[in-house]
């Protein structure tokens, strides 16, 4: 879903730009534009926000109250409202829904980073990663696992609470971890204040059996703002990612991903084990490795030996991938099926991706059909037009060969067949029927397919343990939900974030520095009829990282994983 008035804005921008630039600083400019934008956002949420009724029930959210609160903030400032105040009011409005799919993003280049990561466990904070290319041990004589007792002149939990003021999201555990990610990564694009200059951190470590404190000064790696507050309208900028391929292959990813996806770009993709969507996670090797996927391959995977059997491990960093990822995953699955007794799937810190790529991986992990969540979808003329166009094409398909010719060999990695084309045709008819009936939020219906069929070229049939945590978003919610609802895998870890639908992006011409905002277009329900939204997916086996994990390289976590694998195998 992209609202893009590019043609209209191109016609008028050239004529109006000079006039607007000349009057931008005039009294009331930002407040007037803010009021118009609030009206626009309210209308979009009225028409397109699928979880609206659920939010009213679950958190008492009311669209009109939220919009009026934003208006009141602007009105209180009067004609002197500046851009910062306006953006803050809009961020409050968008954030009021407590939805990880929903976010507003601004045109901004200002950012600051520190070359380390800090995470908490049991109320204490620790160095969790150091970029040694920027902080060699000679200049930063600390190590992963050292405790951070002061950050920026105050306790780390106080600094985290300050960051949390600008996040306004949802589940406390997820919010806390998200804020910790941003402790050392401040991004104006998200509306965060950007730090600069020197900063002191106090580190506590054990030396010869004694606890000693050290103070060390760092300096923020600062990138200044280069975008004038009167930059061009959003529609003249590159569009935010939306959906890939067929219109039913919807995007299921963290809404803030558009503003975060390059934050770790300075490091090699497998060097920071804490990044969202990282090729490798923080989990240490689980045993003696007897086979490991080549480093240049797309997936980090290996087979390891234990005293109770040969076991497999594969990391699924995200569900944002191409056909080549599905093909490689299939080869890994075939090898695991032949050589292992059980499989560990590590999908912690997973920002989500596209629904049919997710389906394609599930298809390789089952030997029986797997039911998919049902979705209540907001529909407008856009969806109706897409469905009508799709139906016209699909009705011409009479066999498998024609289906592949029209749709390609795969949709997001999921194999195309004549039957898949029939499911797509029924989806199109459903949308058209719902529209004719007057529905603007559909009754629950499957997204693309009702059941994921086993992959025709290979699949895994043995026990599976899936590792999840609070930083699994959207597709990172749906994958474990499908596996759990179909009793195909055991989940271990912490409840996922609870981003329970697909996401679309909205763009519009404006002079408030808004690059766009994201919105949830569907509300999914599991087999028990409960939504994923706000509730997340709870593990079958709870495990929250401990102080010992932080200090000992996650060795206790590893031990618990091996214990659970032994249980799964009845050993």
Q: What pLDDT sits at residue 261? A: 57
DSSP class of residue 240 equals P
8 A C-beta contact, residue 204 and residue 550: no
Give the pLDDT of residue 8. Answer: 33
Taking only the tens place, the pLDDT of each residue in 279-332 is 999 999 999 999 999 999 989 999 999 999 999 999 999 998 778 899 999 999
Q: Does domain 111-223 have CATH number 2.40.10.170?
A: no
pTM of the model: 0.90
Sign of the CA dihedral with 446 first, then 449, 453, and 458 last: negative
The reported pLDDT for the residue numbered 502 is: 92
Q: How far is CA 36 from CA 73, 158, 189, 509, in A?
A: 14, 36, 21, 12
Among the listed residues 169, 158, 156, the one whose alpha carbon sits nearest the alpha carbon of residue 128: 156
CA distance 477 to 393: 33
* Domain range 6-105, CATH architecture: Up-down Bundle (1.20)
Q: Looking at the chain, which residues constitute the CATH 1.20.920.70 domain(s)?
A: 6-105
pLDDT of residue 248: 67
What's the pLDDT score for residue 320?
A: 87
User: Which pLDDT score, from 0 to 100, does residue 254 have?
Assistant: 59
CATH 2.30.42.10 residue ranges of the chain are: 111-223
Q: To 10 degrees, what angle do helices 475-485 and 355-363 make?
A: 30
Give the mean pLDDT per block of 10 residues along the chain (571 residues). 40 37 60 96 97 97 98 94 93 94 90 96 97 94 96 96 83 93 90 92 88 94 76 33 56 58 53 89 97 94 98 96 89 98 98 93 98 97 95 96 95 94 97 98 96 96 98 96 98 96 92 93 96 97 98 97 97 84
Measure the CA dihedral 303/307/309/313, to 10°: -30
Q: What is the pLDDT of residues 501-553, one digit of tens each?
A: 998 899 999 999 999 999 999 999 999 999 999 999 999 999 999 999 999 99
Q: Give the pLDDT confidence score for residue 258 in this predicted structure.
A: 58
């Amino acid at each position: 879903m992209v609202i893009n008035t590019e043609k209209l804005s191109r016609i008028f921008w050239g004529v109006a730009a000079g006039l607007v630039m000349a009057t931008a600083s005039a009294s009331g400019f930002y407040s007037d534009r803010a009021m118009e934008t609030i009206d626009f956002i309210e209308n979009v949420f009225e028409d397109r926000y699928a979880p609206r009724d659920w939010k009213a029930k679950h958190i008492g959210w009311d669209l009109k109250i939220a919009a009026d609160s934003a208006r009141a903030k602007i009105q209180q400032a009067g004609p002197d409202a500046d851009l910062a105040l306006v953006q803050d009011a809009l961020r409050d409005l968008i954030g009021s829904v407590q939805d990880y799919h929903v976010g507003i993003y601004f045109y901004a280049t200002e950012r600051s980073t520190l070359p380390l990561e800090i995470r908490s466990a049991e109320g204490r904070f620790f160095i969790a990663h150091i970029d040694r290319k920027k902080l060699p041990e000679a200049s930063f004589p600390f190590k992963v696992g050292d405790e951070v007792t002061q950050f920026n002149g105050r306790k780390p939990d106080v600094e985290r609470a300050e960051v949390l003021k600008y996040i306004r999201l949802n589940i406390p555990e997820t919010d806390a971890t998200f804020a910790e990610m941003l402790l050392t990564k401040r991004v104006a694009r998200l509306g965060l204040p950007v730090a600069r200059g020197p900063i002191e951190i106090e580190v506590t470590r054990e030396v010869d059996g004694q606890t000693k404190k050290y103070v060390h000064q760092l300096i923020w790696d600062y990138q200044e703002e280069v975008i004038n507050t009167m930059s061009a309208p959003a529609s003249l900028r590159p569009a935010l990612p939306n959906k890939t391929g067929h219109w039913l292959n919807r995007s299921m990813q963290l809404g803030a991903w558009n503003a975060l996806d390059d934050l770790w770009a300075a490091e090699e993709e497998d060097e920071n084990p804490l990044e969202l969507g990282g090729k490798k996670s923080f989990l240490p090797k689980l045993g003696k490795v007897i086979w490991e996927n080549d480093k240049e391959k797309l997936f980090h995977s290996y087979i390891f030996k234990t005293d109770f059997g040969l076991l497999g491990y594969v990391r699924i960093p995200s569900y944002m991938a191409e056909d080549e990822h599905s093909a490689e995953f299939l080869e890994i699955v075939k090898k695991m099926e032949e050589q292992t007794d059980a499989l560990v799937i590590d999908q912690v810190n997973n920002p989500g991706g596209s629904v049919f790529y997710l389906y394609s991986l599930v298809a390789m992990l089952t030997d029986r059909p797997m039911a998919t969540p049902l979705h209540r979808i907001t529909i407008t003329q856009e969806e109706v037009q897409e469905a009508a166009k799709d139906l016209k094409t699909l009705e011409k398909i009479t066999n498998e060969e024609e289906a592949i010719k029209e749709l390609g060999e795969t949709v997001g990695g999921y194999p195309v067949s004549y039957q898949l084309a029939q499911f797509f045709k029924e989806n199109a008819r459903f949308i058209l029927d719902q529209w004719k009936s007057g529905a603007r939020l559909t009754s629950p219906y499957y997204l693309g397919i009702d059941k994921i069929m086993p992959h025709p070229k290979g699949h895994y049939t043995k026990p599976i343990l899936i590792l999840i945590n609070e930083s699994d978003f959207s597709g990172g919610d749906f994958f474990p939900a499908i596996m759990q609802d179909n009793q195909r895998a055991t989940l271990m870890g912490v409840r996922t974030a609870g981003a329970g639908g697909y996401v679309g992006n909205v763009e519009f011409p404006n002079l408030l520095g808004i690059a766009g905002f994201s919105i949830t277009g569907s509300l999914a329900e599991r087999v028990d009829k409960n939504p994923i939204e706000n509730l997340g997916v709870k593990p079958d086996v709870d495990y929250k990282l401990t102080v010992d994990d932080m200090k000992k390289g996650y060795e206790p976590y590893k031990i618990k994983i091996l214990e659970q694998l032994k249980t799964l195998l009845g050993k």
